[in-house]
Amino acid sequence: MESKQKDEPVVCACILGYHTELMEEGKPARRYDLDWLKALAVLMVPIVHGGIIFTNTPYLIKNAETSVLMDIAMMAMGIWLMPLLFTISGMSLYFALGAMTPGRFVGSRIKRLLVPFTFGLFTISAFSTYYAVRYRDGFEGSFFDFYPHYFDGWWTFGGNFPWYGHHLYFLLYLFVFSVVGLGLFLFLRRPMHRRWIAALANAVNKPGVLFLLILPVVLNEAVYPFPIWIPRQGAWHMFSYILFLLYGFLFASHEGFRHAIHRHARAGLVLALLSAIAAAVLFFTIDDLMLALSPLSIYAWGIMIAVLSAADKRLNKPNRALALLGDSALPFYIIHEPILVTVAYYVCATDLGILPKLAIILVIALPLIVLAVSLIRRVNVLRFLFGLRPLPPNS
């Protein structure tokens, strides 16, 4: 364990700032599949956000023409992405607490999550909001003309300031959940409580029991108890993300959960298909939108189980590209939205159709995001502001 504390791996600094490593028979066994999933999920986010511009889902920039088919496609592609990231982050959290003292862990969370969130809230999110206000209110001044008005009222209530940083809520939620819940996570890691976790792992290996874990999420999504100033983020409520983070932590705590995921993978795909059909039927037959869409929570859970299983079987191996993706994922996530929104603002003003507009937005925005990330990775000051470790001397 001593060497594990001294060595600071760079792969997957993207989400919780630590790697996905576990101990088997005293030797470190790297979960490369989780590293791959984190990076690939983050790479999918701008594609989903680009598609949402052409749906009926609220977003910073909207195209005048929308499409129900785009609604369906983006829901099918995107509704499980953020739950997957929170679940994997919960697994990373388990591994991190096995290699850090609580104090060092909190310090790491501050550097990897709170610093980039705070920096992004006052810069990155401000730029996204500038174009959103130009679209929403017809604001015609420059970004510097707008910035003093960035703090005029709360975004949730029609103002300009998004306290959660728009897409940066992911960093804020992870920081708050992992630090505030640190006592619980340390409690669950104690050897004396392994018996309880083993009993739960044994239970979820029984046919269908793993799918019951989604029921609290379904209930929360149907009956949301939080005030309006805590809005849905990424199509999910805050408490649902807490549950996904906790489930991920449990999944990493015992090998029995890993076996259960493999056993339920095919059934997860079947359940996802049936849930999607149920949601479609309810959407066109009842007036309660939240109730109609509640099966989508089950859909997302089924997809996640299948994806986790497939990645464990096929992606659990190192690759030279993985280190690059791991070091790029967090700045990629942070910087993607202002670039995407800026490009979309001008492209959506043209008379082109939906698919050509989406293609142009992605073809222009994605290379710009990659270029921005490349710059961030090369400058230590920017690396710090975007939650990355400093470059080694003379690198």
Taking only the tens place, the pLDDT of each residue in 1-56 is: 333 333 333 334 334 444 444 444 334 457 888 989 999 999 999 999 999 999 99
* Per-residue model confidence (pLDDT) at position 14: 38
Alpha carbons within 13 angstroms on the beta-carbon side of residue 218 total 19
Res 193: pLDDT: 82
Instruction: Please tell me the distance from the alpha carbon of residue 185 to that of residue 183, in angstroms, as a whole number.
Output: 6
| Tokens read off for 203 | 């239970």
Q: Can you give the pLDDT at residue 73? A: 92
pLDDT average, residue stretch 345-362:
97
- Upper half-sphere CA count for residue 296 (Cβ side, 13 Å): 26
Cα–Cα distances in Å, from 183 out to 76, 77, 102? 36, 35, 9
Q: How far apart are CA 283 and CA 279, in angstroms?
A: 6
Residues 6+ apart with CB under 8 A from 370: 332
pLDDT at position 225 is 59
Mean pLDDT of 164-180: 96
- State the pLDDT at residue 172: 97
- Run of H or E residues at 22: strand 21-24
Using alpha carbons only, give the angle 186, 191, 192 rounded to the nearest 5 degrees: 100
What is the rounded distance in angstroms from the CA atom of residue 192 to the CA atom of residue 31?
Answer: 25
Q: Could you give phi then psi for residue 53, rounded to 5 degrees? A: -55, -25
What's the pLDDT at 1?
A: 38
Q: Which amino acid is at 300?
A: A
Residues 6+ apart with CB under 8 A from 19: 9, 11, 12, 30, 35, 92, 95
Enter the tokens of residue 4.
């594990």
From 220, 214, 227, 394, select the one nearest 301 (Cα to Cα).
214
d(CA 354, CA 383): 36
Q: State both tokens at 96.
A: 């991190």
pLDDT at 260 over 60: yes
Q: What is the pLDDT of residue 223?
A: 78
The domain limits of the chain are: 2-385
The contacts of residue 285 (CB under 8 Å, 6+ apart) are 292
Cα distance between residue 366 and residue 82, in whole Å = 20
Query: What does the block give as tokens for 360?
Result: 């142009």
For the entire predicted model, the pTM comes to 0.89
Q: What is the pLDDT of residues 45-104, one digit of tens each?
A: 999 999 999 999 899 999 999 999 999 999 999 999 999 999 999 999 999 998 889 999
